[in-house]
Amino acid sequence: MAFLDELRDRAADAMQVTGKKVEEVYGATKVKLQIADKQSAVRTLYRELGEIVYENSKKDEPDFDAVEDKIAEIDLAFDAIEELKASERKIKNTVKCPACGEDVDKEANFCSKCGCEMSAE
Ligand SMILES: [Zn+2]
């Protein structure tokens, strides 16, 4: 990803911060883009699933395997998104709120979105 390399170099020049911080921003941006890619893939899969269901409605013998295969593909994409979000939380030093799923700073006592008390690990 040439764009990201460029971004990293610029960030290193522009910010008077340690190398660790630059790598953190670089890593978080990269993961964010990967998540956006996967979310876009899910939208494509949803559309394809819709086409399959529609075509099935016109058939005398519907192809349920095709529907199940597409749903399995969507499940895999969601699993991949969850994994990417987990690495994003690791990079950003946040944890997932057990109540609402928001990313909350590891040191925070309460969720900034729903106010749920964050238990110390
Ligand atoms: Zn919350």
What are the pLDDT tens digits along the chain (121 aa)? Answer: 688 888 777 777 766 556 667 777 788 899 999 999 999 999 999 999 999 999 999 999 989 999 999 999 999 999 999 999 999 999 889 999 999 999 999 999 999 999 999 986 5
- Give the per-residue pLDDT at 36: 97
Q: Which two tokens stand for residue 81?
A: 């998104």
Q: 108 C-alpha vs ligand 1 centroid, how far in Å?
A: 11
Instruction: Look up the pTM and report it.
Output: 0.72
Measured in Å, residue 105 CA sits from the centre of ligand 1 at 11
Query: 91 CA distance to ligand 1 centroid (A)?
Result: 19
- Ligand 1 centroid distance, CA of 121 (Å): 16
Name the one residue in this structure whose structure tokens are 């899969």. Answer: 45
Instruction: Count up the domains in the chain and report the number.
Output: 1
Q: How many CB atoms lie within 10 A of CB 97?
A: 20
**Is position 100 within any domain?**
no
Which helix or strand (DSSP H or E) is residue 95 part of? strand 94-96
Interval between CA 45 and ligand 1 midpoint (Å): 29
Is 71 part of any domain?
yes
Q: Cα of 110 to ligand 1 centre, how many Å?
A: 8
Q: In this structure, is residue 50 part of a structural domain?
A: yes
Integer Cα distance of 40 and 43 in angstroms? 5
Structural domain range at position 53: 2-6+18-93
Cβ-based burial of 84 (10 A; exposed 0-12, middle 13-18, buried ≥19): buried
Task: Determine the distance separating the centroid of ligand 1 and the alpha carbon of 94, expressed in angstroms.
Answer: 12
Whether 45 maps to a domain, the answer reads yes
Predicted local distance difference test score (pLDDT) of residue 19: 66
61 domain-assigned: yes
Is the residue at 27 inside a domain?
A: yes
Provide the pLDDT for residue 1. Answer: 63
Residue 67: inside a domain: yes
Distance 81 CA to ligand 1 centre (A): 19
Asked whether 72 and 79 are in contact (CB, 8 A), the reply is no
Residue 117 included in any domain: no
**According to the model, what pLDDT value does residue 72 have?**
98
